[in-house]
């Protein structure tokens, strides 16, 4: 099912729909090259306008009281949930839980399983029973957000914490996962696309392995949802998360997806108003998902903004955007591989890679590279990208990451590559040519 | 001079490539010694700086560091080591220099540093315009301060 990629002309039309690109910050008379969308994406006018319009006209306390205004605000809030559900392939809007961000969404799952094991479960929570002899599995490539909550859950429950090790490029194979999964594996948490290597994991096959041993799968989809078509129901994962601000939406909101039977069996870790059915002075009973997980005031205008963001992405077409980004990443990877003195992290080609490339410049620290790139008006991320264990496994503390999005131009990638070479010259790195 | 050239002055790049004081630490007999590991969680830079002080005179008898990081953090550790050695500082004198260095680095370019006090460290003045790099420049100096606190604690 190949589709025509967005053309360069399409991209310039799209850029006009973003205030950041329509009227860009300038550096020495040249617009900055924004190559940091894997950290946070810029937002279209439409998204900002939707949020503002909601706050100006429709703001009301959703799911509380009886007024028409509340009814209308609640419809918009729940409409956004339905839009997000449709966008990520969830059959029902109830499979979408609002969280503060993707990190929070992962914590809702890990902490919820912890509650289930502390005797605070709901009907069906037995499926999350964890104890000595059980194993929680992640990969060595995970973002800290998909690592630390699981380390702590293991410590809390007495389960064993294990990981699929990465190879010399920071990637890992289905075989390595197969070696690590066994009958004791209860949870397998992994990312669809690594935020450091861009490596795309074989989700469907991994889900099959996990299912065969009855393990719960948790997918970090932060770097996939903004870049490729994703259908969580078809992938078969039990839980998945992604962030709004990396997908053209507002900050302060993220998404937890769950299969209905999983969400229904997961107890809430944070409790309070409006997530409940009946409360006495002794105890509380909880709403079904998703409201069970949404105690307290919700990020309502942010949800409306995120609903608009996924509408924008749907109209552009994720398959066309993905095809375009594949071409851009090809240009990026080829440029890196053709430049002496650069080490490319992750797959040594474009297969099994999405949206980004991290490099290490021989003889230079990433912060020095980043400083030079910054002066050239090329905005990238330098550091460990919240993945210290992965960098440690590769024998480095940090790297320089350029990430592309549907608004990225070929010229911006050339500027990144030129700036890397410029940094080598500036710092007088000796490069064998 | 561009802000970038101000940040990466020749003397800084030289120090980062041929750092002073980097290597194994040995405490002379009869000294009080301490070692502190300082870590910058945003980039993973780390320095372990060790120092030995004469309990009588308070003079720094030995200083060495190990670590890895950006040219700013490495050069900064190097200029600090050179300063301590060349001026054979006491702990109290070193504290004065640390305070002066911190004042310069945090001044956003407003403080004109005293070269007599700071030596090659004045070349790090350019860092003060780059707020994200202040921590890199302070790493070794903060480690030395922590060593002093340990030594003073032990002496009590």
Instruction: With H, G, I as helix, E, B as strand and everything else as coil, classify residue A240.
Output: strand
Facing residue for A365 by CB, picked from B2, B7, B70: B70
Nearest CA in chain B to A370: B70
Q: What are residue B102's phi and psi, to 5 degrees?
A: -60, -40
Of the candidates A235, A237, A182, the one whose C-alpha atom is nearest the C-alpha of residue A213 is A182
Facing residue for B43 by CB, picked from A372, A397, A426: A397
Facing residue for B4 by CB, picked from A371, A388, A398: A371
Does the pLDDT value for residue A201 go beyond 60?
yes
Closest-CA distance of chain A to residue B71, Å: 7
What's the mean per-residue pLDDT of chain A?
96
Cβ contact B44–A375 (<8 Å): no
What Å distances lie between residue A353 and A107, A325, A412, CA to CA?
Answer: 27, 10, 19
Of the candidates A225, A295, A215, A285, the one whose C-alpha atom is nearest the C-alpha of residue A254 is A225
Q: Which H/E stretch holds residue B78? A: helix B71-86
Question: Which residues of chain A neighbour B13 with C-beta distances below 8 Å?
Answer: 427-428
Other beta carbons within 10 angstroms of residue B3's beta carbon come to 14
CA-angle at A317, arms to A311 and A321, nearest 5°: 120
What mean pLDDT is predicted for residues A39-56? Answer: 98
CA-to-CA distance for A248 and A37, rounded, in angstroms?
9
Does the pLDDT value for residue B122 go beyond 60?
yes
CA-to-CA distance for A371 and A382, rounded, in angstroms?
9
Residue B155 — very low, low, confident or very high, per pLDDT cuts 50/70/90?
low
CA-to-CA distance for A381 and A392, rounded, in angstroms?
18
Other beta carbons within 10 angstroms of residue A128's beta carbon come to 23
Residue B131 — very low, low, confident or very high, per pLDDT cuts 50/70/90?
confident
What Å distances lie between residue A103 and A76, A221, A262, A417, CA to CA?
Answer: 25, 11, 19, 32
CA-to-CA distance for A114 and A186, rounded, in angstroms?
13
Question: Which residues of chain A neighbour B134 with C-beta distances below 8 Å?
Answer: none
Of the candidates A167, A174, A157, the one whose C-alpha atom is nearest the C-alpha of residue A117 is A157
Give yes or no for a contact between B6 and B126, defined as CB atoms under 8 angstroms apart: yes
Calculate what percentage of chain A has a pLDDT beyond 70: 100
Q: Which of A368, A379, A381, A396 to mutate to test the interface with B (most CBs of B within 10 A)?
A: A368
Instruction: With H, G, I as helix, E, B as strand and everything else as coil, classify residue B47.
Output: strand
Give yes or no for a contact between A413 and A404, defined as CB atoms under 8 angstroms apart: yes
Cβ contact B71–A368 (<8 Å): yes
Closest-CA distance of chain B to residue A36, Å: 16
What Å distances lie between residue B70 and A33, A239, B137, CA to CA?
Answer: 24, 39, 9
Q: What is the pLDDT of residues A264-300, one digit of tens each?
A: 999 999 999 889 999 999 999 999 999 999 999 999 9
CA-to-CA distance for A196 and B51, rounded, in angstroms?
38
B3-155, what's its fold? Sufe protein. Chain: A (3.90.1010)
Provide residues of B within 8 Å CB-CB of chain A. Answer: 2-4, 7-8, 13, 42-46, 68-72, 130, 133, 136
Q: Which H/E stretch holds residue A368? A: helix A366-375
Distance spanning both ends of chain B, measured CA to CA = 49
Q: Would you please indicate which residues of A are annotated as catalytic (active-site) residues?
A: 386
Cβ contact A426–B8 (<8 Å): yes
Cβ contact B3–A375 (<8 Å): yes
Q: What is the pLDDT of residues A255-266, one digit of tens each?
A: 999 999 999 999
Weakest mean pLDDT among A88-102, A308-322, B2-16: B2-16
CA-to-CA distance for A217 and A115, rounded, in angstroms?
18
Residue A389 — very low, low, confident or very high, per pLDDT cuts 50/70/90?
very high
A36: which strand partners? Answer: A403
Cβ contact A427–B45 (<8 Å): no
| Domains in chain A with CATH codes | 8-40+317-426 (3.90.1150.10), 49-314 (3.40.640.10)
Residue A17 — very low, low, confident or very high, per pLDDT cuts 50/70/90?
very high
What's the mean per-residue pLDDT of chain B?
92
Residue B156 — very low, low, confident or very high, per pLDDT cuts 50/70/90?
low
Nearest CA in chain A to B2: A375
Q: What is the pLDDT of residues B8-52, one digit of tens each?
A: 999 999 999 999 999 999 999 999 999 999 998 877 789 999 999
Nearest CA in chain B to A375: B4
User: In this predicted structure, what is the pLDDT of residue A126?
Assistant: 95
Facing residue for A383 by CB, picked from B43, B71, B133: B43
Weakest mean pLDDT among A52-56, A207-211, B104-108: B104-108
Closest-CA distance of chain B to residue A263, Å: 35
Q: Maximum distance among all alpha carbons in chain A?
A: 76
Facing residue for A365 by CB, picked from B42, B46, B69: B69
User: In this predicted structure, what is the pLDDT of residue A433?
Assistant: 63
Provide residues of A within 8 Å CB-CB of chain B. Answer: 365-368, 371-372, 375, 382-384, 388, 391, 397-398, 426-428
What interface predicted TM-score (ipTM) does this complex get? 0.87
Closest-CA distance of chain A to residue B11, Å: 13
CA-to-CA distance for B74 and B16, rounded, in angstroms?
5
Of the candidates A90, A95, A82, A77, the one whose C-alpha atom is nearest the C-alpha of residue A289 is A95
Token output for A134? 């059980």
Domain range list for chain B:
3-155
CA-to-CA distance for A144 and A48, rounded, in angstroms?
29
What Å distances lie between residue B156 and B32, B59, B151, B152, B153, CA to CA?
Answer: 12, 17, 9, 7, 5
Q: Which of A358, A364, A366, A371 to mutate to test the interface with B (most CBs of B within 10 A)?
A: A371
What Å distances lie between residue B8 and A325, A419, B115, CA to CA?
Answer: 35, 16, 18
Question: Which residues of chain A neighbour B130 with C-beta distances below 8 Å?
Answer: 371
User: In this predicted structure, what is the pLDDT of residue A5?
Assistant: 93
User: In this predicted structure, what is the pLDDT of residue A216?
Assistant: 98
CA-to-CA distance for A118 and A111, rounded, in angstroms?
10
Cα-trace Rg, chain A = 22
Weakest mean pLDDT among A41-45, A152-156, A348-352: A348-352
User: In this predicted structure, what is the pLDDT of residue A65?
Assistant: 82
Cβ contact B8–A427 (<8 Å): yes
Task: Look at strands A378-379 and A33-34 and give their pairing.
Answer: parallel
Q: Dump strand ranges (E) for A183-324.
A: 185-191, 216-220, 239-243, 254-258, 276-279, 284-286
């Amino acid at each position: 099912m190949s589709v025509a990629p967005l053309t360069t002309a399409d991209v310039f039309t799209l850029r006009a729909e973003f205030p950041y690109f329509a009227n860009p910050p300038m550096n020495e008379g040249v617009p900055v090259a924004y190559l940091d969308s894997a950290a946070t994406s810029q937002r279209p006018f439409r998204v900002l306008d939707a949020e503002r319009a909601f706050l100006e006209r429709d703001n009301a306390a959703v799911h509380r009281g009886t007024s028409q205004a509340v009814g209308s605000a609640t419809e918009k809030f729940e409409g956004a949930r339905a839009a997000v559900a449709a966008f990520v392939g969830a059959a029902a809007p109830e499979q979408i839980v609002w969280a503060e961000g993707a990190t929070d969404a992962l914590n809702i799952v890990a902490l919820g399983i912890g509650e289930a094991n502390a005797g605070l479960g709901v009907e069906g929570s037995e499926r999350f029973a964890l104890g000595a002899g059980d194993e929680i599995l992640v990969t060595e490539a995970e973002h800290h957000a998909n690592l630390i909550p699981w380390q702590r859950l293991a410590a809390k429950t007495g389960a064993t914490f294990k990981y699929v090790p990465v190879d010399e490029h920071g990637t890992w194979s289905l075989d390595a996962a197969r070696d690590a999964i066994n009958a004791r594996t209860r949870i397998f948490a992994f990312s669809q696309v690594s935020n450091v290597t861009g490596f795309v994991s074989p989700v469907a096959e991994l889900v099959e392995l996990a299912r065969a041993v009855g393990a719960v799968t948790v997918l970090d989809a932060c770097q996939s949802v903004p870049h490729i078509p994703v259908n969580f129901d078809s992938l078969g994962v039990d839980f998945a998360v992604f962030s709004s601000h990396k997908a053209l939406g507002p900050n302060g909101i993220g998404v937890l997806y769950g299969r209905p039977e999983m969400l229904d069996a997961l107890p809430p870790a944070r409790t309070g108003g409006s997530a409940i059915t009946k409360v006495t002075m002794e105890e509380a009973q909880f709403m079904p998902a998703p409201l069970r997980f949404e105690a307290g005031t919700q990020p309502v205008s942010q949800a409306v903004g995120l609903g608009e963001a996924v509408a924008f992405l749907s109209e552009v077409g994720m398959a066309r955007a993905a095809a375009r980004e594949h071409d851009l990443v090809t240009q990026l990877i080829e440029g890196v591989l053709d430049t002496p003195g650069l080490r490319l992290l992750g797959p040594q080609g474009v297969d099994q890679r999405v949206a980004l490339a991290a490099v290490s410049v021989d003889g230079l620290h990433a912060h020095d590279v980043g400083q030079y790139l910054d002066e050239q008006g090329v905005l990238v991320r330098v550091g460990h990208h919240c993945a210290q264990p992965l960098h440690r496994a590769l024998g480095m503390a940090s790297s320089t990451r350029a990430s592309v999005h549907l608004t990225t131009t070929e010229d911006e990638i050339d500027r990144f590559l030129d700036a890397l070479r410029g940094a080598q010259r500036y710092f007088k790195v000796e490069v064998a040519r | 001079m561009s802000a970038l050239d101000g940040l990466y002055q020749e003397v800084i790049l030289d120090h980062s490539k041929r750092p002073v004081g980097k290597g194994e630490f040995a405490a002379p007999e009869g000294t009080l010694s301490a070692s502190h590991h300082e870590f910058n969680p945003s980039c993973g830079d780390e320095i372990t700086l060790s120092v030995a002080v004469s309990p009588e005179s308070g003079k720094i008898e030995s200083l060495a560091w190990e670590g890895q990081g950006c040219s700013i953090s490495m050069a900064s550790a190097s200029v600090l080591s050179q300063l301590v050695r060349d001026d054979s500082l006491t702990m109290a004198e070193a504290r004065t220099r640390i305070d002066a260095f911190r004042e310069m680095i945090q001044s956003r370019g407003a403080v004109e540093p005293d070269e007599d006090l700071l030596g090659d460290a004045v070349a790090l003045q350019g860092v003060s315009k780059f707020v994200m790099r202040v921590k890199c420049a302070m790493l070794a100096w903060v480690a030395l301060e922590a060593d002093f606190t340990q030594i003073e604690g032990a002496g009590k």
